[in-house]
Amino acid sequence: MSLRVIFMGTPDFAVPTLTEIVGQGHEVVSCYTRAPAQAGRGLDLKPSPVHRAAERFGIPVFTPKTLKSEEAAEIIASHEADVAVVVAYGMILPQAILDLPELGCLNLHASLLPRWRGAAPIQRAVMAGDAESGICVMKMEAGLDTGPVGMVEKVAIDRDMTAGELHDRLASLGADLMVRALAALGRGGLRFTPQPEAGVTYAAKIANAEARLNWARPARQVHDLVRGLSPFPGAFAEVDLGKGPERLKVLRTALAGGAAEPGTLLDGEGTIACAEGAVKLLQVQRAGGRGPMSGAEFLRGARLEPGHRF
């Protein structure tokens, strides 16, 4: 059964779901996304990835600053949609909007609810060293990711998987899950289960201070922080190359052996001692640098010798 769908989303993560919904023959009557933001040196207005995808499909795009006005509700009601699909939209839907589509509003959330409700579930899961994550189709309520869940797919998190790699895996998996949910919804077969009260955690936005590496932590925690913040915003360390402290973005590490005072460079390959164990720098990027490089390549260029303290 083909449904009339309002799609609400903003980043790259949401594009596969929009593409799959269109590909399955549903009528996407409108697309809501965040307004174009200034980007680049010229500060030109840059439409969101979802905005650009919707235009390619010929879908009308709306970028309201708020959904809390009567005018916004009237416009959404005029679309006469069966369902709204929300994927990382970035704006809160008031109850007046949630009540408009006949079949409700479905949200694609990148965690195994109720764990990691909130803004940064993918990064928080990796940073915490979780062994698995997943994607949920949830019926939206006024609360923050509190609604009942209709479908779930789980994904194992490899101990070296980065947040970027998990993001891409869940974006693809989520697109398939959402179209299966819409098919079930259209035939009246989508059943929702309330979230358990136990196990609730919140995935707050990543604060800048969290990205700084602390070598006085166990190597496993350092490694998890690096991969949880890779590729964006990137964990960082500070290193003195003779002109004062300089930020070094650390994009990939591996657990390694060795012991010394935390922060001590142990060899020419980029192995750094932590409180327990050590990590090897596999991929780093200097501030304003030309791009990522291996830890060994960085050390050669910076002329840092074993014993140097980060």
Domain boundaries, the chain: 4-202, 208-302
Would you give the distance in Å from CA 109 to the centre of its chain? 10
Domain 4-202 adopts which CATH fold?
Rossmann fold (3.40.50)
**Percentage of residues in the chain having pLDDT higher than 90:** 88
Residue 240: pLDDT over 90:
no
Cα distances from 10 to residues 62, 88, 156, in angstroms, run 11, 6, 26
**Percentage of residues in the chain having pLDDT higher than 70:** 98
Identify any residues that bridge with 154 across adjacent strands, giving them in sequence order. Answer: 134
Residue 261: pLDDT over 80:
yes
Q: What is the CATH code for 208-302?
A: 3.10.25.10
pLDDT per position as a tens digit, 62-110? 999 999 999 999 999 999 999 999 999 999 999 999 999 999 999 999 9
Evaluate the CA torsion angle 78, 109, 189, 27 in order and state its sign.
positive
Mean pLDDT (the chain, rounded): 95
Higher-confidence residue: 41 or 176?
176
In which band, very low, low, confident or very high, does the pLDDT at 42 lie, cut at 50, 70 and 90? Answer: low
Residue 43: pLDDT over 90:
no
Ramachandran sector of residue 291 (left: φ over 0; alpha: ψ -120 to 50; beta: rest): left
Residue 44: pLDDT over 90:
no
Residue 148 CB partners (closer than 8 Å, separation 6+): 138, 139, 192, 193, 194, 195
- Pairing of β 61-62 and β 83-87: unpaired
